[in-house]
A and B are shown apart, each in its own frame.
Chain A
């Protein structure tokens, strides 16, 4: 059993190198909270380890374990990075296992660990349980929710819950971010693309629905979608004609999340695309 005070105390001691007089300098640009159900643990750890160095932040990783005996267990980690000659900065990762009923009240844990005056991001792995107390509580204490709708089943219907929280929290969707190379390319097809009736997207279901939703919402007319499943976005056809492939390499998962963590405001174009993706 761990208390928040234990976590703070342990972090403080880790920030000082054994034998050194002055502690490492803590550098934070945000609090980054990640909700990681068991099936997402491995994938989440990979991305988080790449992110820590790019976005020095306090990272709070929440592992819900509702079937365990009630309690909180936590461990902390301080990563030290050299900066300049003889100087080092540290970032903090706090892993909290929320057991039993505690898994339904994570906001009360996160609130006490948020760094004051800095933006708070919540990365939710998998489909959020819209309406459930653990999710509703968390989105009220963060500034931005980051999801990847590629991880969601039953698209586009699953987007319905998302549209209901747009007025409460800014939302980033990694699936949408992964279409960002393609949208300028499609926009460059103007005016020929203005009357598009049907698109065929070879990519994930999320990418297909979001691109179709984007075209419908921006062009303000119906656009029929044909989806050709693929694990990444590799082709788009406009009324049967293949669109040119966008330049550059597709960014890595960490790159995409990293860019989303630099974004603060609401993305109204995305919100419109999600609404228009719904049947």
Chain B
């Protein structure tokens, strides 16, 4: 009798779940980490920054933890002329520079053994035929069963050609998954068009649209905070919540991406995707389970329930010369590659409403921008004040409303502002913070968003990816806001770099008797 492995044991449900089976009693109780089926990952745009900074460091971390399939290969394709060895060497340096784990030669060698590189133009049919040949050869060599993950780490303008070419060359053997980076389109019409191209060759369940914020542990922790704790959900509604503030602040400028940013602006770069996803996760109803469709069904309901804000409820800004972290920085119009008369917004603030039973009349104030004083992504739930504090007015004058603050980055964690008595005679109340620091309680390094997302795509789990109906709802809202902007020309620049945006953003809340959170 020979004891070769018949097949990898399979869990019955999800990752790290308890596997049960009638046939094999030895599987009972085993905690088996799900690893993907054997496959080949084809990266289009392999010479770009994303491949170097995110994709390969993530692949290395997955290999380091034995989370990649045993039979696995990566094919990088880009226009840059490079040999397999040159590409491997560059990616090795990238892993050493940007990886979160210690560099181990044995781990890298295992991964590098299956790496190939192909220099080709995406629009060149011969080049793509050659790609198919290389991938097929690799498939035979590494026994990956025809399974492919195509990763489009390329500008949106090149999506169509690649999808069309790969779609036409699709074979029936094995499964196919397509990972698409944001932005998915430029507006509603282009997103629909792009989706039309994709759906000619790929079913929706084969498409994984990345919004890397959803891969962040702290964003997922928002779901745990809301749905694993009985104390929050009963007060997570218009009766107890005064308003919500969501901030996505970046201290950096456009970092040489003028060509992209001039077309996108803050509303397409951040608002359309990250910000609306954060809002949807904050406002969604509890899903019936944690499957991809249940979660996404609830998110899309929130997006559908949002009405278009009027012009007075949206503020846009553009940074001028200023100081960030003590350093003098250029204004947006002075950045290389930017039109000196550019009307592209680098800041957006808005008052949004989710018109449903839970949130009617509860404002969601959102703001996002570049060259703000610091990098910070937060969701702040500000609760209504206590109806009748039985203290003298002076005693409680330092008391602010309760705020539940979710720090998405940095200092990942949750903080609750509560009123507490100042020790000593008499009754003086002051606001204090109870902090839960994510990194304080769980001392294992947080996985990078891309590790989780690439692994999930290989496993076919789309929970943390945006579905097409979400994307279309997001664009629909953005298009309506942008349409109103055609009619006015604000005096840009209207905020100095290193400040929290234009004064009109403060006015937006002041009109409602509120203010942005103090920093």
Q: Could you list which residues of chain A lie within 8 angstroms of chain B, going by C-beta atoms?
A: 25, 27, 29, 53-56, 81, 83-85, 87, 89, 180, 183-193, 214-215, 218-220, 238-239, 241-244, 247-248, 267-269
Question: Taking the nearest CB of chain B, how far is it from the CB of A22, in angstroms?
Answer: 10
Contact indicator A54/B444 (Cβ below 8 Å): yes
Most A CB contacts (10 A, CB to CB) among B3, B25, B442 go to: B3
What residues of chain A lie closer than 8 Å to B3, measured between beta carbons?
189, 192-193, 238, 241-244
Contact indicator A83/B8 (Cβ below 8 Å): no
Among A54, A180, A244, A248, point to the contact of B443 (Cβ < 8 A).
Answer: A54
Taking CB atoms and an 8 Å cut-off, the chain B residues in 1-32 that contact chain A are: 1-9, 23-32
Among A183, A215, A239, point to the contact of B30 (Cβ < 8 A).
Answer: A183
With the chains together, A135 CA to B4 CA distance in Å?
45
Contact indicator A239/B28 (Cβ below 8 Å): no
Known contacts A83-B411, A89-B437, A267-B29; 13 further A-B pairs (Cβ under 8 A)? A29-B441, A54-B443, A55-B443, A83-B440, A85-B410, A87-B437, A188-B7, A189-B5, A192-B1, A214-B26, A241-B2, A247-B66, A269-B28
Provided the pairs A87-B411, A190-B6 are in contact, do residues A53 and B26 lie with their beta carbons within 8 angstroms? no
Among B26, B27, B32, B411, point to the contact of A84 (Cβ < 8 A).
Answer: B411
Among A186, A191, A269, point to the contact of B29 (Cβ < 8 A).
Answer: A269
Contact indicator B440/A27 (Cβ below 8 Å): yes
19 CB < 8 A contacts A-B:
A25-B440, A27-B440, A56-B440, A85-B410, A180-B31, A183-B30, A187-B24, A188-B9, A189-B3, A190-B26, A190-B27, A192-B3, A218-B26, A220-B25, A241-B1, A241-B3, A244-B3, A247-B66, A267-B29
With the chains together, A89 CA to B438 CA distance in Å?
11
Among B7, B26, B66, point to the contact of A183 (Cβ < 8 A).
Answer: B26
Most A CB contacts (10 A, CB to CB) among B6, B7, B23 go to: B6
What residues of chain B lie closer than 8 Å to A215, measured between beta carbons?
26
What residues of chain A lie closer than 8 Å to B32, measured between beta carbons?
184
What residues of chain B lie closer than 8 Å to A269, measured between beta carbons?
28-29
Please report whether the interface of chain B is mostly helix, strand, loop or mixed according to DSSP.
loop
| Nearest CB in chain B to that of A54: its residue | B443
Contact indicator B26/A193 (Cβ below 8 Å): yes
What residues of chain A lie closer than 8 Å to B28, measured between beta carbons?
218, 269
With the chains together, A56 CA to B438 CA distance in Å?
11
| Nearest CB in chain A to that of B31: its residue | A180
What residues of chain B lie closer than 8 Å to A83, measured between beta carbons?
411, 437, 439-440
With the chains together, A162 CA to B436 CA distance in Å?
38
Q: Can you list, as one digit per residue, whether each of B380-420 has a CB less than 8 Å from chain A (1) or not (0)?
A: 00000000000000000000000000000011000000000
| B435 contacts A by Cβ under 8 Å | yes
Q: Can you list, as one digit per residue, whether each of B30-70 has a CB less than 8 Å from chain A (1) or not (0)?
A: 11100000000000000000000000000000000010001
| Nearest CB in chain A to that of B18: its residue | A269
| Nearest CB in chain A to that of B443: its residue | A54
Contact indicator B440/A89 (Cβ below 8 Å): yes
Question: Taking the nearest CB of chain A, how far is it from the CB of B406, in angstroms?
Answer: 15
Most A CB contacts (10 A, CB to CB) among B8, B23, B435, B440 go to: B440
Contact indicator B25/A27 (Cβ below 8 Å): no
Question: Taking the nearest CB of chain B, how far is it from the CB of A278, in angstroms?
Answer: 19
Provided the pairs A84-B439, A183-B26, A239-B1 are in contact, do residues A188 and B6 lie with their beta carbons within 8 angstroms? yes
What residues of chain A lie closer than 8 Å to B440, measured between beta carbons?
25, 27, 56, 81, 83, 89
With the chains together, A193 CA to B23 CA distance in Å?
12
- 5 closest pairs, A vs B, by CB? A269-B29, A187-B26, A89-B440, A27-B440, A84-B411
Question: Taking the nearest CB of chain A, how far is it from the CB of B80, in angstroms?
Answer: 35
With the chains together, A191 CA to B4 CA distance in Å?
11
With the chains together, A14 CA to B168 CA distance in Å?
68
Contact indicator A184/B9 (Cβ below 8 Å): yes
Question: Taking the nearest CB of chain A, how far is it from the CB of B26, in angstroms?
Answer: 4
Provided the pairs A84-B411, A87-B411, A269-B29 are in contact, do residues A189 and B6 lie with their beta carbons within 8 angstroms? yes
With the chains together, A218 CA to B443 CA distance in Å?
36
With the chains together, A190 CA to B24 CA distance in Å?
7
What residues of chain A lie closer than 8 Å to B7, measured between beta carbons?
188
Question: Taking the nearest CB of chain B, how far is it from the CB of A155, in angstroms?
Answer: 22
Taking CB atoms and an 8 Å cut-off, the chain B residues in 308-367 that contact chain A are: none
What residues of chain A lie closer than 8 Å to B9, measured between beta carbons?
184, 187-188
Contact indicator B435/A25 (Cβ below 8 Å): yes
What residues of chain B lie closer than 8 Å to A183, measured between beta carbons?
26, 30
What residues of chain A lie closer than 8 Å to B8, measured between beta carbons?
188
With the chains together, A185 CA to B7 CA distance in Å?
10
With the chains together, A186 CA to B28 CA distance in Å?
12
With the chains together, A54 CA to B444 CA distance in Å?
6
With the chains together, A54 CA to B442 CA distance in Å?
7
Most B CB contacts (10 A, CB to CB) among A83, A192, A248 go to: A83
